Homo-oligomer: A and B are copies of this chain.
Amino acid sequence: MSRYQDGYQLAGSRLSAHADVPKAVYHAYGYVKKAVAVVNGRDGRLPGWMAQLIERVADEVIAGQLDENFPLYVWQTGSGTQSNMNVNEVISNRAIQLAGGQLGSKTPVHPNDHVNMGQSSNDTFPTAMHIAAVQAVHARLLPSVQALQQAIQAKARQWRDIVKIGRTHLEDAVPLTVGQEWSGYAHQLTQAMDRITASAEGLYELAAGGTAVGTGLNAPAGFGEAIAVEIADLTGQPFRTAANKFAAQGGLDAMVGASAGLRALAVPLMKIANDIRWLASGPRCGIGELILPANEPGSSIMPGKDFDRIVDPAVMTGLRQHSDAESVPHQSST
């Protein structure tokens, strides 16, 4: 439903499986297009039937029903223009289809004049990224951390009275209980959740309404405010319009901030995983304080040996997050 369907792609990137724009960004773009259609319809800039048609298609985008029409890689111009145009074209064509028109005719719903009305890639792409990131943080990440924190907290209570040696520099030091040790892990995760939440705060500010370079050229007065109110209503998250659109579009500081929140989680997770893999080392020639569930069959040379397949990957993903955390700030410094 878009010329991007035809493989409009950076050839070299085909080699990499990493490069797709996450579908969640497109689902978030659906909220943007819907909110703008609501505002444009309410203000009479779009006829009511057309606004409703765009909203209906935007709901399909949000629900992931049009995912296969969004094939692009992340390696686009810095503005994400290709993704915005891809969304405009898909919504236009799907609306035309629903209206019984001819695909590609841009009639009666034009991708630029109607779907993209009052917008630019420069303000809508960061808006969509913020929405996608807020949802990933609040709907997926924080509940997972919460569940892990509670599981660890339960262990801390269960093991409250089991005394063990405390160590500093890996040398035997003085006693503590296993429950005390695990209460520390639980508390680190609690603090990480606080840091994630605080770090993601800047994502609630939306660039929509700034259009090309932040001046709001071609957009009516109060447009950004109205769109933000609508998006907040649709998503149930406290989005608001950015106080200064030049800052919101000139940098990615809110994304850098949110990335720091992820690292605030990766650091204690990796510390806990490192502790566990050492405390579970052995069984006979290691520290052997913990026995991990064997969830992996043994090796052929050492058939009695069991593998745990959680802790090693936890350390690896921690290292991966460290390097991802590196990329984001540089992207915003250039």
Binding site for B on A (CB under 8 A): 10, 12-13, 15, 17-18, 20, 22, 74-79, 81-82, 85, 112-113, 116, 120-122, 140, 144, 165-176, 180-181, 183-185, 187-188, 191-192, 195, 198-199, 201-202, 211-215, 217-218, 243-247, 249-253, 256-257, 260, 263-264, 266-268, 270-271, 274, 277-278, 280-287, 296-297, 299-302, 305-310, 312-313, 315-320, 322-327, 329-334
Contact = CB atoms under 8 A, between A and B. Distances in A.
Contact of A285 (B13, B188, B263, B287): B287
B334 A330 contact: no
Contacts of A250: 181, 184-185, 188, 271
A181 B14 CA distance: 31
Contacts of A307: 77, 81, 169, 171
A6 to B, nearest CB: 14
A40 B176 CA distance: 25
A182 B316 CA distance: 26
B214 A176 contact: yes
A267 B246 contact: no
Stoichiometry (number of copies)? 4
Contacts of A195: 202, 253, 257
A10 B313 CA distance: 9
Contacts of A213: 166-168, 173-174, 176
Given A77-B296, A331-B316, A305 B171 contact: yes
A167 B285 contact: yes
B82 A285 contact: no
